Every structure is written in C-alpha cells, then in structure tokens.
Copies of this chain bind each other. A is one copy, B any other.
Amino acid sequence: MTYNVQVKVMPLKELLDPQGKAVMGGLDNLGLKGIEDVRVGKNISLQVNAGNEAEAKKLAEEATKKLLANPVMEYFEIAIN
C-alpha cells in the first residue's frame, strides 16, 4: 500500500533563521501588522510503498535522517496522512 507521508523540516529554535527574518521584513514593508515571528523550513511529501503505517514511517525517518534533514541545524517531524 502507498502511504502519503509528510516530513516537516524546520530550523532549530536556538538558531537564527535569516530567511524567516527576510520574510518578516517583507511583511512589514507590505504593512501587514500582527505577525510577530516567522520561521521558514521545508515540507517534503513522500509517497511510500510499505506493508503498514509503522513501516512507512520508519522508511521516511531513515530517508529524512540520511538525506533530507541536517540535524546540526534542523529538526524534523513526520506525519502520515
């Protein structure tokens, strides 16, 4: 069966996020008030062929650790839809 797995990869909270800061600046320039903080990360959508949900999640986790996320700068969350 094919599972739709969503991997969210975000910059660690301890680190500066220059892209997020740039977006904040852009929002200010557009006059959009009320947004206090922005952080920009990646969302990766995987179609995983596996026997069950747990297997699909394990495969997605392996792929994320080996290729998609850099643990020095990023944390990740995996969700199955």
Contact = CB atoms under 8 A, between A and B. Distances in A.
A8 B46 contact: no
Please tell me the size bucket of the interface on A: 20 to 34
Please tell me how many copies of the chain the complex holds.
2
Contacts of A35: 46-49, 59-60, 63
Interface of A: 2, 8-10, 20, 23, 26-27, 30, 32, 34-50, 59-60, 62-63, 66-68
Contacts of A34: 48-50, 59
Nearest to A50: B34
Nearest to A41: B43
A62 to B, nearest CB: 6
Nearest to A9: B43
